[in-house]
Amino acid sequence: MAFASSTAARSAEREPPADRVTGLRALAEQRRSEAARERPARRPARRSLFPRRQLLTGGVAASLGAALGVGAYAILDDDPTVPLEPVAVEAMRDGVQAEAQIIGHTWGVQYVLEVTGLPAGRAYEVVYRTAEGGEEAAGSFLGVPGTVSCRMTAAALRGQTRAIEVLDEEGAVLLRSQLA
């Protein structure tokens, strides 16, 4: 037991007096509150998905790209005024009616077609017949109830194109436009 009492005596020597501990704690609390009053209130940092600088840079880049695209289109457009040339359309089946025009572009002829009376859901192919006896495919379209409006273009120049035909699924001519 002598050992235990000497340990308690040493422990008592190490502990500061209680009134001093209380005074130190009060002083520390006072300094903390003074520092808090002197420090300006901070707003919480605002976190944005896109910082302002990135939005500004992106907006400027998009505007510049759009301006360059419009300018390039205006400079490079080789058909600024494209006249529509009406052409006759001969229907090979009863109940089918059509109107057409062509546009003679520098890269080929565009067939502007409006047709009614086609069975819906069937595929139709458009071909251009050339002066040399060749055939240029211009794509295909599906029949729908009502009016089909489509534009078909082939790599045949206006002077080389003699006829434009719309073929049914069996390859039979459904519509024909003779060109002079």
Q: Encode pLDDT of 78-136 as tens digits.
A: 555 678 999 999 999 999 999 999 999 989 999 999 999 999 999 999 999 999 999 99
Question: What backbone phi and psi angles, to 5 degrees, belong to 172?
Answer: -80, 145
Mean pLDDT within 151-177: 95
Under the banding of pLDDT at 50, 70 and 90, the label for residue 68 is confident
Assigned token pair, 39? 């420090």
Under the banding of pLDDT at 50, 70 and 90, the label for residue 36 is confident
Say whether both 93 and 171 belong to one domain: yes
Whether the CB-CB separation of 175 and 115 falls below 8 Å is answered with yes
Least confident of 3-7, 49-53, 95-99: 3-7
Say whether both 90 and 27 belong to one domain: no
Whether the CB-CB separation of 106 and 79 falls below 8 Å is answered with yes
User: Which range of residues forms the domain containing residue 147?
Assistant: 84-178
Say whether both 109 and 162 belong to one domain: yes
pLDDT given at position 19: 78
* Total domains, the chain: 3
Say whether both 63 and 116 belong to one domain: no
pTM above 0.85, yes or no: no
Assigned token pair, 119? 């069975």
